[in-house]
Amino acid sequence: MARKLSEAARKSLLLGQCIPTVKQNAVKIRVKRLELDENLLMYFKKDEFYYCHDPDKKCQTGDIVLIESLPQKLTKLITHQIKEVVYPFGDITDPVTGKKVAKERYREDIEKEAEIYGKLDSTFDYSKAPPRGWQEGKKDFTSKPTYTKYHVFDKNDPYAI
């Protein structure tokens, strides 16, 4: 019974977070699940990873995306495709009201408060901020997978910590 449910779940739509990968035209998605331990009758967190076809490069690292399975596998690893980006990383939108959020407050409320009490030079202006990803490859390496160096090889990897 449990095996049939897991197979059906893999064929339906899944919600996950994009994580860094080195694959071309594909992204790695982490889907969080709860798995039942039948001995303890408790649920435990389990992460599953899927490689998804993304030729248009719709999603970036950290985005919450909706994925669906492909009718045929593209490769041995790529089994799903990106359907849509639900929540882009860093630009948080309240799902109920549709307003933009900064920490625990709406951006509109912050701007109104700044108008009432006077705007400081040190406050951040979201309307003048550049789009996300403008520093990618220059100062921002979040799209590259990082790992800890345990061995020293002849070739130096710039993304190792």
Given a cut of 70, whether residue 147 has pLDDT beyond it is no
Q: Please report, for residues 33, 41, 157, 161, the alpha-carbon distance to residue 154 in angstroms, rounded to integers and kept in the order given.
A: 40, 50, 10, 16
Q: Is the pTM of this model over 0.85?
A: no
Residue 156 lies in a domain: no
Q: What are the beta bridge partners of residue 19? A: 28
| Residue 148 is assigned to a structural domain of this protein | no
Tell whether 126 is covered by a domain.
no
Residue 104 lies in a domain: no
CA distance 14 to 80: 10
What are the start-end ranges of the E strands in 20-109? 26-37, 42-53, 64-69, 78-87, 101-102, 105-106
pLDDT digits (tens, 9 = 90+) for 3-35: 555 566 556 899 999 998 888 888 999 999 999
- Evaluate whether residue 160 is within a structural domain: no
Q: Are 128 and 4 in contact (CB under 8 A)?
A: no
| pLDDT value for 24 | 80
Domain membership of residue 11 (yes or no) is yes
**Domain assignment present for 151:** no
pLDDT band at 158 (very low <50, low <70, confident <90, very high): low
119 vs 110: CA distance, rounded Å: 10
Residue 58 lies in domain: 2-87
What CATH code is carried by the domain that includes residue 80?
Answer: 2.40.50.140
CA-CA distances (angstroms) from residue 2 to 8, 68, 126?
10, 21, 48
